[in-house]
Structure 1
């Protein structure tokens, strides 16, 4: 089971995590309320595809969106994109909505938005219906992640 892969990977990195069942929610706000946290404390793990077979993980607070211009500038590249679901699965071993760097089939570089530091965050746990909680700073340190401003506020559509 993917959740076991996440637990094993966390233990190998010396990370303390908590994995809980997580009922399906219809919105970010509902998911946060069900977990007893704020939307900013839910971290999305996005698989980003670069050139060829190069990928990376971008960790973005739930109340923000990835900033493509900021991430491209940080990496010094002209093109990045979200891969198709089947490529994300092939690159990580996880389906979209469950992705976490922990236990990924490949250890891709990790880039964390600076706003997630100093928090206990919730993120994908490798399988639908599950979430993990982890100290963001410990997660960042365990991956030697690059911390930078790589997100923008989510624009509200009226």
Structure 2
């Protein structure tokens, strides 16, 4: 599964026409370790979260590594009173990717994408379909390639 998922993501990155580099690293135990392995700051790691609006109605939310979804902000943006995160099996079913490897690039369905307004910079690192594999590219290219809506939808993550 992982090999096919990585191939699908790589093909989608290629098809997007934007320049990117792939980084492969072993298992990491923290955001800081992942950032170090990828050569970026923790805020440059982009988490792709799958959010459910309703039956068979999902979207991707791109969240900087040092932040978390603000549910009130996201609900207000979408004009809904209820959102949820699907369990790992549903997330895999609707994207084709295991949790921890999810990316909008090459997802089985092209769900809408919302990028937090802090997804900025010359380089961001986003999952590339397999554990320990990431693509690094310009934030603007991610937003443009995915036709992402940019909005303030996060809050600082609590420090562990």
Normalising by the smaller structure, the TM-score range is over 0.9
Residues of 2 paired with 1:72 and 1:66: CA distance?
A: 10
CA contact (8 A) 2:23 2:38 kept: no
1:34-73 equivalence runs, <5 A: 34-73=37-76
What is the deviation of 1:154? 0.9
Residue 127 of structure 1 corresponds to 130
2:127 is equivalent to residue 137 of structure 1: no
TM-align CA RMSD: 1.1
CA contact (8 A) 1:41 1:119 kept: no
Residue 29 of structure 2 corresponds to 26
CA contact (8 A) 2:47 2:65 kept: yes
**TM-score w.r.t. structure 1 length?**
0.95
| Stretches of structure 1 lacking an aligned partner (at least 5 in a row) | none
Per mean C-alpha deviation after superposition, the further-off stretch among 125-134 and 69-78 is 125-134
2:91 is equivalent to residue 76 of structure 1: no
Superposed CA offset, 1:50-91 (max 9, x none):
111100000000000011110000000011111010100011
**TM-score w.r.t. structure 2 length?**
0.94
| Stretches of structure 2 lacking an aligned partner (at least 5 in a row) | none
